Amino acid sequence: MKHLLSTADLSRADAIRILDTAAQMAATQSREIKKLPTLRGRTVVNLFFEDSTRTRISFETAAKRLSADVINFSAKGSSVSKGESLKDTALTLQAMGADAVVIRHQASGAPHTLAHAGWVDSAVVNAGDGMHQHPTQALLDAFTMRRHLVGRGAAGASITGDPTGQDLAGLRIAIVGDVLHSRVARSNVHLLHTLGAKVTLVSPPTLVPVGVETWPCDVSYHLDEVLAETAPDAVMMLRVQRERMSGSGAGGGAFFPNPLEYTRNFGLDGRRLALLPDHTIVMHPGPMNRGLEISAEAADSPRAVIVEQVANGVAVRMAVLYLLLAGDASTERAGLE
Ligand code: CP
């Protein structure tokens, strides 16, 4: 059985194949009839143990646009609240004949367990596990960067369609904020490195993970310096994950930062936007804390591609489901584990 669990598992060829397939899927989404018959008769289960808006809805949309049957499972209101285990939940899904399980879970490694414990025969797609990985978010981010930043003319950003077959070599990407708790940052660092981009993480020292020096990226604690010195092609702001922090720092969680200090040192606002090259795009995986890590002026500026990221998520997830479920040969070539 084949799965998508981590961007660390994807080779350059794997990633480019997914992005190219997503470009084909995106082209079908501008047609009057968006639905494709590709996954007719297949069943995709969205198994969400953690809250989600964008990921859950876009996986559902992607599966339906490919004509799959979709079952949405939310832990809230299910027998999980009565103490049912992941194993017994998985066995129930197996009994219902799921072909793919898209799982979001608060525990890092839960999708890996589901994929390899022998409880289900289906393909497993990681839709975000704890602070570990969110591979389809990184793929949709790379897809968005490629559309905006690859193949630009000398005059700047002129978008001439999808530059299929190309990686992100030479791009400079700043990922800013709460790296410690961010599966989006981890997924992006691996994928962007694989695709040839140079990543700089910018974060307060308290929100940098132990072991970050082994990651394939630079680390800085000074946002203004990074914006001025690296002239990034994309600035990706990360959400401050209040729900994974404690007020006091007790219990092993990081302290919630002083909001005013955080915004002053690490927030993207109009002043910092003005430091960026004209072609630089502003990204955020959502949901945003407006006024904390990003100002309304930055979030709503013409440089912001945040809503487009959401739209691109449907095409990328269509590509992933297609490559996993529609044909062994293509799945092999896509390198989806
Ligand atoms: N980016 C992201 O994962 O958003 P959701 O939590 O709304 O799915």
| 305, 157: one domain | yes
Let me know if residue 123 belongs to a domain.
yes
Let me know if residue 279 belongs to a domain.
yes
Q: How confident is the model at residue 99 (pLDDT cuts 50, 70, 90)?
A: very high
Mean pLDDT, rounded, for 137-145: 98
| 129, 158: one domain | no
- Residue to substitute in 48, 53, 57, 72 for testing ligand 1 pocket (most ligand atoms within 8 angstroms of CB): 53
Please tell me if the CB atom of residue 243 comes closer than 6 angstroms to any atom of ligand 1: no
pLDDT at 328: 52
Question: If we measure between CA atoms, which residue out of 279, 191, 183, 195 comes closest to residue 238?
Answer: 183
Q: What is the DSSP letter of 241?
A: -
| 29, 126: one domain | yes
Mean pLDDT of the chain: 91
The pLDDT of residue 277 is above 80: yes
We report the CATH number of the domain holding residue 49 as 3.40.50.1370
Mean pLDDT, rounded, for 177-201: 97
CA separation for the pair 145, 199 (Å, rounded): 13
| 219, 258: one domain | yes
pLDDT at 158: 42
| 108, 236: one domain | no
Minimum-distance ligand 1 atom for the alpha carbon of 127: 3
- Minimal-distance CA residue to ligand 1 atom 3: 55
| 181, 56: one domain | no
Let me know if residue 202 belongs to a domain.
yes
| 215, 303: one domain | yes
- Residue 184 CA to ligand 1 centre (angstroms): 10
Let me know if residue 96 belongs to a domain.
yes
pLDDT at 252: 52
pLDDT at 253: 62
pLDDT at 155: 44
Mean pLDDT, rounded, for 6-26: 96
Q: Which domain holds residue 323?
A: 7-133+313-334
Let me know if residue 1 belongs to a domain.
no
Percent of the chain predicted with pLDDT > 90: 81
Q: Which of 30-34, 150-154, 324-328 has the lowest mean pLDDT?
A: 150-154
| 256, 189: one domain | yes
199: enclosing H helix or E strand? strand 198-202
E strands within 50-118? 69-74, 100-105
Strand, helix or coil at 279? coil
| 275, 204: one domain | yes
Please tell me if the CB atom of residue 244 comes closer than 6 angstroms to any atom of ligand 1: no
| 186, 259: one domain | yes
Let me know if residue 126 belongs to a domain.
yes
Let me know if residue 2 belongs to a domain.
no
Identity of the amino acid at 109: G
The pLDDT of residue 201 is above 80: yes
Q: Per the structure, how many domains does the chain have?
A: 2
| 269, 296: one domain | yes
pTM: 0.93
| 148, 227: one domain | yes
CA separation for the pair 285, 179 (Å, rounded): 13
- Minimal-distance CA residue to ligand 1 atom 1: 285
- Residue 155 CA to ligand 1 centre (angstroms): 34
